[in-house]
Amino acid sequence: MDVVNHKKKLLLVGSKGMLAQKIAARAAGEWEIIAVDLPDFDLTDQAQVLATVQRLSPAVIINCAAFTNVDACESEEEVATRVNGSAVGTLAEAAHAASATLVHISTDYVFSGTGNTPLSEKDIVGPQSAYGRSKLLGEQSILTSRLEKFIILRTSWLYGPGGNNFVETIIRLAKQREKLGIVADQIGSPTYTGDLADAIFSILASDVDPYGIYHFSNDGACSWYDFALKIVDLARKNGENLKIKEIAPIRTEDYPLPAKRPAYSVFSKEKYCQLTGKSIPFWQDSLAKYFIER
């Protein structure tokens, strides 16, 4: 007797990335996951994207593919614009043709970061970097497409297993150096990939029309300096052999980088909470969970 597969198809684009790995783990058992990434799948190859989506006919496409090296985007803006911007429009076109829902991951960098109150989905955008401009173009490519079934999910300060992130960088440096200077005048909210993956499926499972733009990060806010202090504290408690003796707060101008960072990018998550009825874990609790996992 033939076994009939009643699982819905989920096309996971950029499947090797840090967030995608968590999405795949979260979706296992419930969805038929089709994972695609470079070199076999190139998001900037329009013909390939359209043909692949048409052939696979997924119910949901989650786009985790992106050029995320923020500073490299400054010198390679054309590449960033293609990957993070125009290619997303192709994916939206393909999703529309396949009657699929597109979930696209965006960023706090689409905002100027000059305010001091939590940012809602209705706040005015104003990217200050090539990365931010390219990601905003990706959002606009979806919004101006024919696709109606889309979820744009903006997030910030992402970390998790299976990828380069601030948490692992701080642990590595704390093993190598006795003193670190960490920026203390940029305020945001760390986001654990496991919580973001859960949020995606909570939105998709909504009984009401879930389409549109959402903000999601872990609850609470901190500076990179505060974040680093907590990372080192947890690393010590978890038995890491650290050399670090002092972490000093510094200003953004003391640590110049090619790309301008938002000074304040704390999100209001009210829209997400109202849709899903879910509470959001505090960043300290999720960071502790990550240390247990790693």
The model's pLDDT over 71-122, given as tens digits with 9 standing for 90+, comes to 999 999 999 999 999 999 999 999 999 999 999 999 999 999 999 999 999 9
One DSSP character per residue, 68-108 reads: --HHHHHH-HHHHIIIIIIHHHHHHHHHHHTTPEEEEEEEG
What pLDDT was estimated at residue 145? 98
CB of 64 within 8 A of CB of 41? no
Concatenating the DSSP letter of every residue in 232-279 gives HHHHHHTT------EEEEE-GGGS--SSPPPSB-PBP-HHHHHHH---
Q: pLDDT band for position 294 (50/70/90)?
A: confident
Q: Residue 2 pLDDT more than 80?
A: no
Rounded Cα gap, residues 226 and 230, in angstroms = 6
Query: What pLDDT sits at residue 6?
Result: 78
Is the pLDDT at 3 greater than 60? The verdict is no
Q: Can you give the residue ranges of every domain in the chain?
A: 8-165+190-219+266-281
* pLDDT averaged over every residue in the chain: 96
Q: Spot the catalytic one: 109, 131, 192, 214.
A: 131
pLDDT at residue 286, as a whole number: 98
* CATH class of the 8-165+190-219+266-281 domain in this structure: alpha beta
Preceding omega of 39 cis (within 30 degrees of 0): yes
What are the pLDDT digits (tens) for 127-175? 999 999 999 999 999 999 999 999 999 999 999 999 899 999 999 999 9
Radius of gyration of the chain (CA): 19
pLDDT tens for each residue of 35-59: 999 999 999 999 999 999 999 999 9
CA separation for the pair 68, 136 (Å, rounded):
13
pLDDT at 159: 98
Q: Which two three-digit tokens encode residue 164?
A: 């380069």
Query: Is 131 a residue of the active site?
Result: yes
Whole-structure pTM value: 0.96
- What is the percent of the chain with per-residue pLDDT over 70, rounded to a whole number? 98
Q: Is the pLDDT of residue 125 over 90?
A: yes
* 5 confidence band (pLDDT: 50, 70, 90): low
Q: Any idea what the Cα angle at residue 288 is, between residues 225 and 292, rounded to 5°?
A: 130
The pLDDT score that the predictor gives to residue 172 is 97
The H-or-E segment that residue 226 falls in is helix 224-237
